Chains A and B, each alone.
Chain A
Amino acid sequence: MDAIEKELDRLTNGANLSKSVKEIDKCLELLLAARTTIENDPSATISTLQTLEPGLKAGFQAANESLKGLHGGIGKYGKALDKKFKTTNTKEYPFGALGNSQPLINRAIMMHLLREGNFEIAEMFSQEADLAGSVPSVLELEFRELFSIQESLRRKELQPAIEWAEKRRDSLESRASNLEFELHRLQFLVFLFEGGAGGQRLALEYSKSRFLPFQKKYLPEITRLAGCLVYREILSTSPYATLVQDDSSWQSIIDAFTTEFCAMLRLSAESPLYVAATAGTIALPTFNKMSTIMKAKKTEWTSQNEIPFEVPLPDKFKYHSIFVCPVSKDQTTDSNPPMMIPCGHVLAKDTVQKLARGTGSRYKCPYCPADSFPKEAREIYL
């Protein structure tokens, strides 16, 4: 990047139009001066006019001359770019593009805009791209609610989130989510520490009225919270120091809320468009390398459903369990699912059949001395 910046400096500092403009300006001044001369002394008209042509010629030549410097500067800047981007000859995704998927991409963008709370832009986009009906209108309402609750959480107001969670207590429970209790817990601490002189009383009353339904599941935590009522003034040096709230606890409650909210809509918590585009730019160098190699070897890639190489992505981009059969090295699919054999080892279904030579006869586990029949293998769900 340094080389590019250097050439850019050269353009802004010298290799630009300023000199040519100055020369043009000089030509103009020459003409204006001539007019003044003629107006003051009409007898000098002819002699003055005769000086104009050579004067202008020289001026334009100088202007043209200084353009050469500009041309050179642009050329050098271009070379600096060539050098920086020399490796990027293959910009195309080698395995078929998304050319015919415009409506689906539009929908994904629309949902992304709603997710980010850009409702006006989403509205405009929906009109321009003629998306009426492709995204259920109820989804916009949901996202508006999500956004307004997030906003109130950012202002440290918990009530809207608590109301939302209370209405969905059963579904949250079945997802084993702590969200509702976490919100109440935070509200309790807010009352205790930000409620002024009456904070302790407020917090105590809140806990009495709200913690009851959670008593069975969260008793130890409720006890801890009750304990910190006593230590309010000296909490940071007390046994309850870990209960001190900071901004990160607010951020994590916002994240937890967002995840639960999206899960209720059967959507992922982070925008899929963002995750996929980011993963794509991380993966692209590998794709490029592969297509270069394939071009050089003039080989075609054969397996239609699977890309032929592994893309290294950070762990947070892994969402599913993946099982690769240790014998065949195939990823398991619907038609070739993972099977657990009696000794507890797992193989792909095709592998089991191959080991038993397709006859259903007894075979030995490739990983331990145990042997078994193929019919004893059972499908598992990862």
Chain B
Amino acid sequence: MTSKSATAVNADNNLLLEEPILRLPLEVLRKIFKSSQRCIELDGKKLTEFARDVAAKAPQVSQEKSLENLNTMITRMQTLKRKMETLQEEEKAVHAQSRRRVSHLNDLHSLTSLLEEGYESWSKTRLDRYMVDYMLRNGYSNSAQQLAKKKGIEELVDVDVFVQCWTIEESLRNKKTTECLAWCADNKTSLKKIKSTLEFELRLQVYIELVREQKLKEAVSYSRKHLSGSYDAHTSEFLRASSLLAFPPHRPGPYKALYAEGRWDHLVKTFVSTHHNLYNLPQDPLLHVALAAGMSSLKTPGCHSTLSARHNTACSVTSLCPICSTELNELAKPVPYGHHTTSWVDHDLIVLPNGRVYGTRRLADLATKLGLDNGKYRDPISGEEFEKAETRKVFIS
């Protein structure tokens, strides 16, 4: 009954959710590139200037002093070299990791049918990856690492990036901005490119907290130092923030919103979405997307029927439906059910006197297995037994 196209593996279609596993390493490569560029430019400039200095001063200072200067130069150069070598090691690791990922995705191209064993094992690995992704995004990093290790998929998942993200999230939840501000500084250029307001909002929060504690002088100097620069981009917020000085937290007047605790949740959300944006990661866990689409396609009106006992959901001769099973039943309640344009039923249907409909073959097989007397059927769900003569044919077109 299944058309050939329904079982063919279309590798590209299967890769719809797989973009991030190649994108993220690319972003890491970009970061490594930027760090090394900064190293070479800054340290290079400093070192050449130092060399010029040393050479210029050499006639006036002692030979020992010159040698000492040269040694300082050598030490600095060695530090730079070590930095570059570390970066190079990181780069190599990312290359190897990307290669593993490409070959994992390539494995899919060698498959032709969704019913092949190879597809099943590939799909199992994929689920493992999605579970690790889900766990990391929710801060269950130990479980995630254990699972990745057990399944041997450490190179296919991005533990470090998510752990860093989670650490910063947690610090924001504890109302600390230091870590997040440091992250903003690390990614200054990229944040500017996407016109992120994250840093401004963080600074604004620090300022609000100062006002909340009524450290007004500090608040003003903080505002001068960190907020006034953004006056052009955030004029109205800046003006509102300045007026806040006149409204202490116990008498907030029109500035209640600025004092609201909810601003911290907002900061967490802004940070996470900015972070994922920067690394080209989808905002939702991949597992959510796959599960939601999957549950909808599998779900039928019968899965949450209040009359479910009357439906053939738990039919003894077949396996239970995954949506009816405990794991997903509750979760699948709000998702819409799948659309069908044609009926999907057994061949040669007959109806029993109790109104239940089964394929003749299924009832006959069951009767043989149960060793029933000839001429009898048993309803696999209700357990009632009926004479064949009491049944009649049903036509479903």
The residues of A with any CB-CB pair to B shorter than 8 Å are 1, 4-5, 8, 11-12, 16-18, 20-21, 24-25, 27-28, 31-32, 34-35, 38-39, 42, 45-46, 49-50, 52-53, 56-57, 60, 63-64, 67, 70-71, 74, 77-78, 81, 84-85, 87-88, 91-93, 95-99, 101-102, 104-105, 107-109, 111-113, 118, 120-121, 124-125, 128-129, 173-178, 216-217, 259, 262-263, 266-285, 287-288, 303-324, 326, 329, 331-334, 340, 343-346, 367, 378-382
Contact = CB atoms under 8 A, between A and B. Distances in A.
A173, A278, A379 interface centre (most CB from chain B within 10 Å): A278
Contact of A312 (B5, B141, B313): B5
Given A118-B147, A332-B301, A108 B296 contact: no
B369 A176 contact: yes
B40 to A, nearest CB: 5
A52 B99 contact: no
Contacts of B307: 334
A71 B1 CA distance: 53
Contacts of B357: 321, 380-382
Contacts of B296: 95, 283, 307, 311
Contacts of A380: 351, 355-357, 394
B219 interface: no
Nearest to A318: B344
15 contacts: A20-B84, A38-B66, A49-B66, A78-B26, A91-B289, A93-B293, A99-B288, A278-B126, A281-B14, A285-B16, A324-B342, A340-B394, A344-B395, A345-B396, A380-B355
Interface stretch (B132-140, B173-181, B194-202, B208-216): B132-140
B345 A70 contact: no
Contacts of B153: none
A128 B67 contact: no
A32 to B, nearest CB: 7
Interface string B129-164: 011001100111111001100100000000000000
A323 B289 contact: no
Interface stretch (B51-59, B183-191, B240-248, B255-263): B51-59
Contacts of A323: 343, 345, 396
Contacts of B378: 176
B182 interface: no
B30 A333 contact: no
| Interface size classification for chain B | 35 or more
B230 interface: no
Given A88-B16, A176-B366, A320-B344, 16 more contacts: A53-B48, A53-B55, A81-B23, A95-B292, A99-B284, A125-B135, A262-B319, A266-B325, A267-B325, A272-B325, A275-B298, A287-B293, A314-B7, A331-B300, A334-B301, A344-B392
A286 B40 CA distance: 49
B353 to A, nearest CB: 10
B299 to A, nearest CB: 9
B291 A277 contact: yes
Contacts of B17: 91, 281, 284
Interface string B353-371: 0011100000000100111
B336 A285 contact: no
A39 B70 CA distance: 11
Contacts of B67: 35, 38-39, 45
Nearest to B141: A128
Contact of B2 (A12, A93, A315, A379): A315
Contacts of B23: 81, 85
A121 B140 CA distance: 11
Interface stretch (B74-82, B221-229, B231-239): B74-82
Chain B binding surface SS class: helix
Given A35-B67, A56-B47, A60-B44, A319 B319 contact: yes
A77 B146 CA distance: 32
Nearest to B119: A278
A49 to B, nearest CB: 4
Interface string B292-320: 11111110111101110011111011111
A181 to B, nearest CB: 10
A91 B66 CA distance: 62
Given A1-B109, A124-B146, A275 B48 contact: no
Contacts of A346: 394-396
B294 A275 contact: yes
Task: Name which of B32, B295, B306 has the most chain A CB atoms within 10 A of its CB.
Answer: B295
A77 B48 CA distance: 34
B9 to A, nearest CB: 9
Nearest to A102: B138
Contact of B114 (A104, A121, A314): A314
Interface in B91-122: 91-92, 95, 98-99, 102, 105-106, 109, 114-115
A305 B302 CA distance: 13
B96 to A, nearest CB: 8
B311 A16 contact: no
Given A17-B36, A98-B331, A27 B77 contact: yes
B290 A269 contact: no
Interface in B363-396: 366, 369-371, 378, 380, 383, 392-396
Contact of A334 (B6, B102, B140, B306): B306
B339 A308 contact: yes
B40 A329 contact: no
Given A281-B16, A322-B344, A105 B335 contact: no
B26 A81 contact: yes
Nearest to B76: A31
Contacts of A35: 67, 70-71, 74
